Homo-oligomer: A and B are copies of this chain.
């Protein structure tokens, strides 16, 4: 059996869980596969002098066996001694809760970045410990940070995405969401190749605006996806008009897109060939995109494996379509 090269663009929790299901499904099938994950870094933030990359870490911890299962992010068996002490000193911000185990990851990352290593090499070094079983590459070695424009009692202003997401729980409407730095960012080494040379390209059920959307905002990546010969299959992060988890609806509203499985597929127009929607959204039709409906709630390992299997099967059925879409360009 030949090696199947699978490349996925991924945000945090949803992407990481889907990828774990994908690994399990490939292992069960006995398919020799090489998975490359292009991770979103636009929700990265510098806190307490430390560079925090939430999505990369969520993928790394989830696939490497270190994740806090119920929470979906952060480390298992986590403690918060450092954070509590920082609070005792009154150090801001206090709304971003970093655990002790997690702190170490950020210290190592910051030490390496300060020593001059690009984020992609830092991520590789961190993964040397976690062995996630995939090649995890940040979308870019250049810093990109999503900022959100809001207008509340304190007036109109731009704040870091994390402040809006974690501190405000996206309760204040976003007037716009801008991935600062994306325009000038270059894809990290290996990103374009992993897209161009993939046999299958996947969009896991990640946030279409601040995860997949920001990855695609790095110049060169959208083009690479739209011209790849591989079939591109996405999994809807929206079920029955609501995000599976998180507050993707607030992000979609900010960019004027309806919160529906069909609208997200439209957002990916020209990029995807296949689209998996939940049974609640059966009947969704998108021009030039093969839509299949199945239960999309990743409630446990087996249910997630079924979704990954459906994505692989759809890609296999679409292979000629993928080629024809590429020839459309």
What residues of chain A have their CB less than 8 Å away from a CB belonging to chain B?
A: 48-49, 79, 81-83, 85-86, 88-91, 100-101, 103-105, 107-108, 110-111, 114, 126, 129
Contacts and interface: CB of A to CB of B under 8 A. Distances in A.
Contacts of A89: 104-105, 108, 126, 129
A78 to B, nearest CB: 9
Contact of A110 (B49, B90, B101): B49
Please report whether the interface of chain A is mostly helix, strand, loop or mixed according to DSSP: helix
A167 B181 CA distance: 44
Contacts of A111: 48-49, 91
Given A81-B81, A88-B104, 18 more contacts: A48-B107, A49-B107, A49-B111, A49-B114, A79-B81, A79-B100, A82-B100, A82-B101, A82-B107, A85-B103, A86-B104, A86-B108, A89-B104, A89-B108, A89-B126, A91-B107, A100-B100, A103-B103
Contacts of A82: 82, 100-101, 103-104, 107
Contacts of A86: 104, 107-108
A91 B122 CA distance: 13
18 contacts: A48-B107, A48-B111, A49-B110, A49-B111, A79-B79, A79-B100, A82-B101, A82-B103, A82-B107, A83-B104, A85-B103, A86-B107, A86-B108, A89-B104, A91-B104, A91-B107, A91-B108, A103-B103
